[in-house]
Amino acid sequence: MKSLLALITLGASLCAQAQIDLTQLREAARSRDLATLNQLAQNANGDVLEMYPRYYLLSAQINTLTEADVAPFLARYDGTPIAERLRADWLKELGKRQDWVSYDTEYPKLDSPSAELKCYAAQSAALRNDTGALAQARPLWFSARPLADACNPVFDTLFTRNVLTQDDAWTRIRMALNANRSDLARQLGARVGFPAELTAKSLARAANTPDKVFDAAADGRAAREMQLYAMQRLARKDADRAAQLFQSASINWPAADQRYGWQQLGLIAAKNHNDNASAWFERGGMAGLDEAGRFWAVRAALRVRDFKTVLARIDAMPADDLQLSVWRYWKAEALRAQGRGAEAQPLLLGLTDGDDFYALLAREEIGPVASEKPQHRRADATEQRTIEQVPGIRRALALYAQNWRVEGAREWAWALRGMNDGQMLAAATLADARGLYDRSIDTAERLKPLSDPTLRYPYPWRNVVTQAAQDQGLDPAWVYGLIRQESRFVPDIRSSAGAAGLMQLMPATAKWVAGKMGRKRFDLSEVTDISTNVSMGTFYLRYLLDRLDEHPVLVTAGYNAGPGRARNWQNNDALDAAIYIETIPFDETRNYVKKVLANAQHYGASFGSNTTLHQRLAAIPGKLVTPPQDNSLGGADGGDGN
C-alpha cells in the first residue's frame, strides 16, 4: 500500500471545481475495479473532492489494510463526513480482527457509532473488565429488531454477570412478538430455556389461527406471551372478538400482564378506529405505556370526542410530551370543550409564535396578537461568496453538480455544524441561488425568526405550477405545499419505491394519468420533466378531489396513502377534520397531511390568499354519504404509512 500512502499524504491545495468523474467513480466502486479506483485517486490530487476516490480505494481493500494505510487518510481529512465513514468502516474491521488496542484508540473519535460498533466497544470493555463501560451496552438489548452478530458475545456476558436477567429476556421476546417478528422471538427462546410455545410451529399457529391459541388455559409465562401475541394478531382483524377471548383467558393472570394486554388491544383498536379503543386503554391504564401508546391513548379518546379523558391522559404525560405543540393544542381544545376557555387561552397563546400545523390553528383561533415584527432577510452577495469558500460547502456544491445528492446533503449538513446564524443565513441564501431548494429549506428552517420566508417556502417555476393548478381548478398554494413536502423541489428525485419528479408520481399512476390525458406516446422517462410532472400530478389531484368530496384533507391523505385508505379512515358520520388528521393510523401520512396543509397556508400568505386553515378543515363527511370510488390506484407517491 506504499503508493496509496504517498497519494494520501500529498498536500496540494484544492482546486475550485471538481474534475473527478463521479459516475465513473461510482461504477468502479460498485465493481471493485481497483485499477480504475487507483487511477482516479492519483488524478484527484488537489481536487475539491480528492478524498472521495481515495476513500473508495481504501474501502474496497479494507480487510487487507493496516493502521499505517488508514491513519494518513483519517488525519488528512479529519472532521469530514468521508473520514467519519472510513473510520466506521475501519472500526468494524478492527472489531472483526479483535484488535482491541487499535479499536479503543480510534473508537472515541467516531461521531455516531452504530449499534454494531457499540457492541464491539463493549466486547473490548468486557476483556478489560471495565464493568461501567460494559453496562452501557445493556440498553442495546431492548430492541425489537435483530442485532449484529457482534452483540451476541456482549449479551452472553451481560446475562452471565446478571446485568441482564430472565425478565429482560422475556421483555425482548414480547417486543419482538409485538413487532410481529416471530423469527426473532423464536431465536430469543434460547435465553429462556427453549419453551415449546416459541417453536416455529407454535408461532405459525398463533399467527395463522390466533383464536385457537385460547382453547387451552395459559400455564406459565411462555403460554401467556403466546396468547398475547395471538390476541394482537386477531385484534388486527376483529378487535371485539380478541377482547372477548382475552378477557376470559386473562382472569387469573398477573395484573401487569393484564394491563399490558388491554393497552395493546387499545392501541391496535385505536389505529383501526374502533370505538371501544378508549375503554380498553382505560382498563390498561397509562402506566408503562411507551410514547406511541401514550399518544394513541389520547387519540382514542379524541376520536370519540371524550374530551374529559383527552385532558386526563394528556395531563398524565411526561413533561417532554407536554412540550409538543400537538398536545398543547389538544389540551387547550379539551379545556374549551369543557367550558374552561380561560385556561385554554394561555396554551393557545404560547403556540402562536410557531409556524407548524397546530401553531397556525392556534393563531387563527386566538386572533391577532400584538408582537414585534421579525426582521426577515437574505444574505448579500459578499456573505454568499464568503460562505461558498467553506470547504464543506464547496464539496457539497461539487457533489450536487454531478447529482451525488446523498453525499452532497451529508457534506452540507456537516458544514453547518458550528455555524452562527449569519453564516447559516448565507448558506441558505447561496443554496437558494443555486437552485438547491432542499438545502435552502433545510438550512433556513433552523433560522425561522431571521430568514426570509421565501427561503423556507420557495416557489420556483411559478408560471408552470400556477397554470397547471388553475387548469385543474386547484389552489396553487396547496399544490406548492404538496410539492414542497413531496420532493423539496428536486425535479429528478426518485424515491426507493419508484416515485419520481416534483410531485413524486409512481410509474403505475403516471401511466394511468397519461392514458386519461390522452398521451398515447408517453414514456416514463418524461415523468421527471417539470412541466409534464406538474401537469400529471395536478390532473391526479383533480381526479381525487372529484372522488373524495372535494375535500383537501381527504385528498392530501389519499395522495400519500391511497384514496381507498383515506376513505376508510372516515367515520360513518361527519368528523372534525383536525381529529380525522390526528387519528390517521400511519405516522408518515399523519405528519404529511399536517405539513402539506401548513405549507399551503404559508404559500397562500405569499400569494395574497385569504383562505384560512380552518376553511381548509371543513368537517369530514361520513362514509355513508361518500360515493364509491376507483380503488385500483394507490397513493401517487407510493406512500403506505409505516
What residues are labeled active site? 486
> According to DSSP H, which parts of 276-420 are helical?
277-284, 291-303, 307-315, 319-322, 325-337, 341-351, 357-366, 381-388, 391-401, 405-416
| Alpha carbon of residue 262 to chain centroid | 28
Amino acid at 190: A
Task: Give every CB contact of residue 481 below 8 A, 6+ residues apart in sequence.
Answer: 595, 596, 597, 598, 599, 600, 601, 602, 603
Residue 319 contacts by C-beta under 8 Å, 6 or more apart in sequence? Answer: none
Residue 629 CB neighbour total at 10 angstroms: 17
Which phi and psi (to 5°) does residue 377 adopt? Answer: -155, 165
CB–CB of 590/338 below 8 Å?
no
Name the H helices within 189-254: 200-208, 221-235, 239-249
Q: Which three cell numbers stand for residue 330?
A: 389538544
In whole angstroms, give the CA distance from residue 516 to residue 428: 40
Q: Which residues of 456-486 are buried (b: 16+ CB within 10 A; e: fewer)?
A: bbbbebeeebbebbeebebbbbbbbbbbbbb
Rounded Cα distance between 303 and 313, Å, is 14
Query: Nearest Cα to 568, choosing from 622, 619, 528, 514?
Result: 622
Alpha-carbon dihedral angle through residues 497, 498, 500, 505, given to the nearest 10 degrees: -80
Taking the C-alpha atoms of residue 296 and residue 545, their distance in angstroms, rounded to an integer, is 29
Q: How far, in Å, CA of 187 to CA of 373, rounded?
A: 60
As a whole number of angstroms, the distance between CA 28 and CA 22 comes to 10
